[in-house]
Copies of this chain bind each other. A is one copy, B any other.
Amino acid sequence: ATPLRIGSQVLNSRLILGSGKYDSFELMRDSIEASATDCVTLAVRREKLNDSSARNILDFLPYQELTLLPNTAGCYDAVTAVRCAKLGRAILEGLDNPGQSWVKLEVLGNSRTLLPDPFELLKATETLVADGFDVLCYSNDDPVVARRLKDAGAAAVMPAGSPIGSGLGIANENNQRIILAELKRGDPDYPVILDAGVGTASDAVIAMELGFDAVLLNSAVAKAKNPIKMSAAMRLAVNAGRLAFEAGRMPTSAYGSASSPELGVISDRKLQDS
């Protein structure tokens, strides 16, 4: 498969995994391994690093082999999100990880829905772009907002399929189709990534079939009954969806359509002939 370029980064896998919500660091580590991803996103905080047993997430992340994608989860305004992004950069510089140049920008509008606030998001995007970040914007599924974020210099727009952690998949395929058409018009390589809402493997396939460049997910794996197996499913799902998108699906019709009489037929002449 073609590698995916996002700003200054290049990814081989089109599946980006979150690192939260797992029952344990071990489960996170094994799920990430099963996904074959080369990019994992982490929330940046000033304090937290260890779990309740004082263990460090970095001991469970093969971060030398991964591009870490710092995110600003939990920020509700542009100022806080910008500060958080810079902290992430500082941390990743300390780790010598290539992820220091980019950020998954989340600026939430509401703690109940965890949906993004387009107003603060646009402000933060402008500030971080000016500061040299590759900004990956977690956005709603509004084509106008998506356009504004791209125009503001976002390295990628990442519309939510449905609320974070809802598992509802892509709630509005029509909007996502419009976003993809609008952002890729005359710029087919501009990365558009589905971020949030994926609940199971078919959701990821549908996203890739629509033409998304990648899928970012967390709960679908972390909250599956068997996260490691679901992670393996997601690895195949993203590849299946990409291949199907590239292959170009058959047209649909309300009624059936019979097989040609020419092919796919075995007859008794074989016996008679031989």
Could you tell me which A residues sit within 8 Å of B by CB distance?
18-22, 25, 28, 42-52, 56-58, 68, 70, 73-74, 87-88, 90-91, 94-95, 109-119, 122, 140-145, 147-148, 162-168, 171-175, 177-178, 182, 196, 199-202, 205-206, 209, 218-220, 223-227, 229-230, 232-234, 236-237, 239-241, 243-244, 246-271, 274
CB-nearest residue of chain B to A108: B144
Q: B residues within 8 A CB of A165?
A: 253, 256-259
Q: A82–B91 Cα gap in the complex (Å)?
A: 47
Nearest chain B CB to A141 CB, angstrom units: 8
Which one of B18, B112, B247, B269 lies within 8 Å of A255 (CB-CB)? Answer: B112
Q: Do the beta carbons of A57 and B201 come within 8 Å of each other?
A: no
CB-nearest residue of chain B to A267: B49
Q: Do the beta carbons of A263 and B19 come within 8 Å of each other?
A: yes
Tell me which of A45, A177, A206, A263 has the highest count of chain B C-beta atoms within 10 A of its own C-beta.
Answer: A263
Q: Do the beta carbons of B225 and A266 come within 8 Å of each other?
A: no
Given known contacts A162-B174, A219-B257, A263 and B20 CB-to-CB distance under 8 angstroms? yes
Q: A209–B251 Cα gap in the complex (Å)?
A: 24
Which one of B49, B114, B202 lies within 8 Å of A257 (CB-CB)? Answer: B114
Copies in the complex: 4
Nearest chain B CB to A236 CB, angstrom units: 4
CB-nearest residue of chain B to A164: B256
- Per CB-CB distance, the 6 closest pairs between chain A and chain B, nearest first, are A20-B264, A225-B248, A109-B144, A165-B257, A114-B256, A20-B259
Q: Do the beta carbons of A266 and B200 come within 8 Å of each other?
A: no
Q: Do the beta carbons of A44 and B267 come within 8 Å of each other?
A: yes
Nearest chain B CB to A60 CB, angstrom units: 9
Q: Do the beta carbons of A266 and B114 come within 8 Å of each other?
A: no
Q: B residues within 8 A CB of A90?
A: 268, 271
CB-nearest residue of chain B to A70: B266
Nearest chain B CB to A255 CB, angstrom units: 5
- Sampled A-B contacts (14; CB under 8 Å): A21-B260, A42-B265, A57-B265, A57-B266, A113-B178, A119-B122, A140-B142, A164-B257, A172-B172, A199-B252, A200-B244, A219-B257, A229-B246, A233-B243
Q: A56–B269 Cα gap in the complex (Å)?
A: 10
Q: Do the beta carbons of B167 and A144 come within 8 Å of each other?
A: no
Tell me which of A73, A175, A223, A250 has the highest count of chain B C-beta atoms within 10 A of its own C-beta.
Answer: A250
